Structure 1
Amino acid sequence: MKTIKQLKSPFAFKAPKLSDDHKVERYFKSVPFYKPTELKEMKNLAKKLGVKELAVKDESSRFGINSFKGAGGLYAMGMCIAEKAGLDTDNLTYDDLMKPEVKEVAQKLTFYSATDGNHGRGIAWSASVLGTKAVIRMPKGSKQIRVEHIRKIQNTDVEITDKNYDNTVKEVEQMCQADPNGIMIQDTAWEGYEKIPGWIIKGYGLIVDEFLYQMEDKPTHIFLQAGVGSLAAGIVLGLEERMAPEELPVITVVEPETVACFYLSAEIGDGERHNLEGHTKTMMAGLNCQTPSIAAWPILRDSAKFYGTLSEDVDAQGMSVLAHPLADDPKVVSGESGAAGFAYIYEVLSNPELADKRKELGIDENSRIIVLSTEGDTDPDNYQEVVTDKRWLKD
């Protein structure tokens, strides 16, 4: 049975003190193979759902690795190498990283990371591009196809552990500590490990630069799926660096109903982050994270207006709607984690029984909504099974 939960944030909005330093834009514009991903306008669907604009930022083409993760990985890894080589990280360019003496430094390093799939693929790809090495470990239950995507990338050692995500992170941290040339590159942060996750978050601001330029007008609402929260935090920081507080869209953080650590933290409402115990499971593999990142939590806590959860059948419906567009709307191949933000708001807008949630969000005929499709068909077999299921084709 399709279920949606929605919680208004119990926390007061706190505008951060930020300056748009253009480091991220300058860095990526120096990368010779960089190009923006598409913003796909669902004009017919927007009209059907009674909103002014519904836009999907399709991250499946980001650097050819079928997800958004390359943006954070390439930026953070570049900053790590630059720091080791004694370069100026405030003005770093890709050409700086390609200098022989810098590549010599990179070749001696190994980057360690835990992943449910996309993050590890982004790190492995970034390592291959920058001439360094990667060691990737994945939690129990990870799909073999996700392992193979990573294993195909040169200079990468990847295995599945017998542990959940949080304990896999701890295992990788121990491996890294035993390597004198090892660097932990994780998209979650904890006490004493915040700088590199901060760079990853910063790198995702690139996505904001692109969609603000691509949209006809500023968005009024954005729905951001969260695992540990790094992408969502990066998008929020990117918006807050580029828009006045009164211009910011209504921000909703979306999670699977079975793994909703941000929702839990907001529900408890004491301002602290809270974790889920045990072995959690969801087909939205990239969102199967039990503890909010210490770097992401305060950003989202102080800026998000709502927290939402969705069941897997809601997510499946969203995947199918994007795969079978209305009239001449563009098709979006969006995987299980990739479709979560879209699936959530599609269910809210299309289900008459959820009119109260639509009203609470402040959505009307003038609303301009953007969501991120953060991955393509990273699990092709499951993707095909979902989007050909006749239950989701009835509309």
Structure 2
Amino acid sequence: MKNIQLLKSPFSFKAPELKDDHEVETFFNSVPYYKPTELKELTNLAKQLNVAEIAVKDESSRFGINSFKGAGGLYAMACCIAEKAGLDVEKLTYDELMKPEVKKLAEEITFYTATDGNHGRGIAWAASKLGTHAVIKMPKGSKEIRADHIRKIQNTEVEITDKNYDNTVKEVKELCEKDPNGIMIQDTAWEGYEKIPGWIIKGYGLIVDEFLHQIKEKPTHIFLQAGVGSLAAGIILGLEERMKPEELPVITIVEPETVACYYLSAQKGDGKRHHLEGLTKTMMAGLNCQTPSITAWPIIRDSAKFYGTLSEDVDAEGMARLGHPLDGDPKVVSGESGAAGFAYVYEILSNPDLGKERTELGLDQNSSIVVLSTEGDTDPDNYHRIVDENNPF
């Protein structure tokens, strides 16, 4: 049965003090194979749902790897190599990384990471571009097809473990520590491991820079799916670096109802991160994370106005709506994790029983909504079953 939850944040808004820098844009503008992803406007759906705008940032074309992860992965890996080479990370360009002496240094490095799929694919891809190596571990229950996507990138070493996500991260950490040339490149952070996840978060600010230039009106609402929270934190920081506090959209964090560590942490309301125990399951594989990142949590806690969860049938309907749009609207191929933010707000806007939630969120005819489709059909068989075979539209 379709189900969503909505929780108003118990925490006070606290915008970070940030300098107005353009390090991320400078770096990516120097990358020869970089180009912005599309912002697809669902104009007719917005009219039907009585809002001003619904814009979907389609990350499926990001660097040809079918998800947003390449932005954070490439930027963080570039920063790691630059730091090893003694380059100025704040003024880094791609040409500097292609110098023979830097490429020689990169060749000696192996990057280690744990992943549910998309992050590992982004790291393997970044390693192939920067002339280095990657070793990837995946948690129990990961789809073999996601592992195969990673293996195909310069024969990257990939293993699906018998552990949950958090314990797979611990295994990778121990493996990396045994390699004198190993660097852990994880998109979740913990005490003492914060710099590299911080670079990943910063890299995602590129997405904000793009959609603020693409959208017709400044967004009033943004719905951000969260696993460990790096993407959501990166988008929030990107918004707060580029918009005045009074211009910021209402930010809602969205998670699967079975794996909602941010929702749990907001429920507890003590300002601390809270961990979900056991082996968690969701078809939204990229969001199957049990502990908020120590780097992402304070950013999200101090900025998000709402936290929400959705059931898998809500997510499936959102995938199908994007895959079978109203006449005149563009199609968006969005996978299980990719569609979560859209699916959540689509259910709130289209379900006549959710008027209270619409009011609480302040959704009306003046609302300009942005969602991120963070991945394409990374599990093609499941995507086809949900979107085509079980299509409700």
Q: Same fold (TM over 0.5)?
A: yes
Give the distance between the partners of 2:243 and 2:391, measured in 1 at CA.
41
Aligned to 1:147: 147
Aligned to 1:182: 182
Q: Deviations over 1:200-252 (max 9, x none)?
A: 00000000000000001110000000000000000000000000100000000
Amino acid at match of 1:59: E
Aligned to 1:339: 339
Aligned to 1:298: 298
Unmatched 5+ residue regions in structure 2? none
Relative distance call for 1:37 and 1:203 in structure 2 (3 A) is same
Aligned to 1:234: 234
Q: How does 1:201-216 map to 2 (within 5 A)?
A: 201-216=201-216
SS at match of 1:148: helix
SS at match of 2:222: strand
Amino acid at match of 1:134: A
Aligned to 2:322: 322
Give the distance between the partners of 1:274 and 1:7, measured in 2 at CA.
16
Give the distance between the partners of 2:259 and 2:328, measured in 1 at CA.
35
Give the distance between the partners of 1:82 and 1:345, measured in 2 at CA.
40
Amino acid at match of 1:367: S
Aligned to 1:221: 221
Aligned to 2:354: 354
Paired residues, number:
393
1:31 correspondence with 2:31: yes
Give the distance between the partners of 1:392 and 1:87, measured in 2 at CA.
54
Aligned to 2:267: 267
Amino acid at match of 1:354: L
CA RMSD of aligned residues (A): 0.6
Q: Judge conservation of contact 2:24–2:202 (CA < 8 Å) in 1.
A: yes
Aligned to 1:392: 392
1:77 correspondence with 2:97: no
Q: Judge conservation of contact 1:225–1:341 (CA < 8 Å) in 2.
A: yes
Aligned to 1:161: 161
Offset of residue 391 of structure 1:
5.7
Relative distance call for 1:184 and 1:60 in structure 2 (3 A) is same
Identity of aligned residues (%): 79
Q: Judge conservation of contact 1:134–1:155 (CA < 8 Å) in 2.
A: no
SS at match of 1:388: helix
Offset of residue 90 of structure 1:
1.1
For normalisation by structure 2, the TM-score amounts to 0.99
Q: How does 1:271-286 map to 2 (within 5 A)?
A: 271-286=271-286
Q: Deviations over 1:290-343 (max 9, x none)?
A: 000000000000000000000000000000000001011000000000000000
Offset of residue 19 of structure 1:
1.3
Q: Judge conservation of contact 2:189–2:294 (CA < 8 Å) in 1.
A: yes
Q: Judge conservation of contact 1:72–1:203 (CA < 8 Å) in 2.
A: yes
Amino acid at match of 1:73: G
1:382 correspondence with 2:382: yes
Q: Judge conservation of contact 1:132–1:155 (CA < 8 Å) in 2.
A: no
Offset of residue 388 of structure 1:
1.8
SS at match of 2:302: helix
Offset of residue 392 of structure 1:
2.2
Show structure 1 runs of 4+ deviating over 3 A.
none
